[in-house]
Amino acid sequence: MTVYGFSSSGNCHKVRLLLEQLGRRLDQDYRWVETDSSRGQTRTPEFLAKNPNGRVPIIELDDGRVLAESNAILCWLAEGSPYLPADAWQRAQALGWMFFEQYSHEPYVAVARFIRGWTPVDSPRRGAELSRCLERGHAAFAVMERHLSDNAWFTGPDYGIADIALFAYTDVAGEGGFDLTPYPAIRDWLARVRATPGFVAMPEPAAGAAALLARID
């Protein structure tokens, strides 16, 4: 199996994190083809032939079949494992959090980080759009904090794919300009995720993005 992904993308790191936690090893059980969406590598004719929506991550099986959308990939990889609840209601709750992540969280939490790290310092996006991302991102964190005040995990009684989906960009929210101090339950949950067996952190971004992310605005 081949993963096409951009190492600095939380959506892509989700796939690597689950693969590692499932005990699958890079270059033994799966290949990783680095595909830098910030430099147009998801808009080439070759890539668009695999995913017409022009986004990473995707997985490609050895027979050529392709699956897109990070959270759909998590569902497929986790089939039959403890990371996907066996109970239908609980599985639907996990899916609910994964749709929440893609609709109410990622478009703000991930995009704030993208604007800060991958757009020029004089980008117009650093104005009203970044402010809106911060406002909506905090609204998403408030919803998460409320859930975590009564629950250890998002997936169900145990850690799993909904936690992986929400962890990816929450763990690097500081790079987007978010202060997680007001969310003690989220900070405790982030620490619990980091302590799960087989956990791997997202690689550091390349130097240019890292310098931009480290700026104090």
- Please select the residue that binds a second copy; options are 33, 142, 201, 211, rule is CB under 8 A: 142
Find the shortest distance in angstroms from Cβ 25 to a second copy.
22
Q: Which is nearer to a second copy, 147 or 206 (CB)?
A: 147
Find the shortest distance in angstroms from Cβ 203 to a second copy.
24
State both tokens at 22: 């499932």
Q: Torsions phi, psi of 15, nearest 5?
A: -65, -45
Q: Is 146 in the site for a second copy (CB under 8 A)?
A: yes
Find the shortest distance in angstroms from Cβ 122 to a second copy.
19
- Rounded to whole angstroms, how far apart are CA atoms 169 and 134? 13
Q: Is 99 in the site for a second copy (CB under 8 A)?
A: yes
Q: Torsions phi, psi of 64, nearest 5?
A: 95, -10
Q: Is 211 in the site for a second copy (CB under 8 A)?
A: no
The vertex-35 CA angle with 129 and 193, nearest 5°, equals 70
Q: Is 86 in the site for a second copy (CB under 8 A)?
A: no
Best CA proximity match to 117, nearest among 204, 13, 14, 214: 214
Q: Is 92 in the site for a second copy (CB under 8 A)?
A: yes
SS3 at position 26: strand
CA distance between the termini of the chain: 41
Q: Is 65 in the site for a second copy (CB under 8 A)?
A: yes
Q: Near a second copy by CB under 8 A, which window of 18-26, 88-96, 115-123, 206-214?
A: 88-96
Q: Which residues fall within 8 angstroms of residue 46, CB to CB, at 6 or more apart?
A: none
Q: Near a second copy by CB under 8 A, which window of 34-42, 85-93, 170-178, 184-192?
A: 85-93
Q: Torsions phi, psi of 160, nearest 5?
A: -175, -155
Q: Is 89 in the site for a second copy (CB under 8 A)?
A: yes
Tell me which residues touch a second copy (CB under 8 A).
Answer: 52-53, 55, 65, 67-73, 75-76, 79, 88-89, 91-93, 95-96, 98-100, 102-104, 106-107, 142-143, 146-147
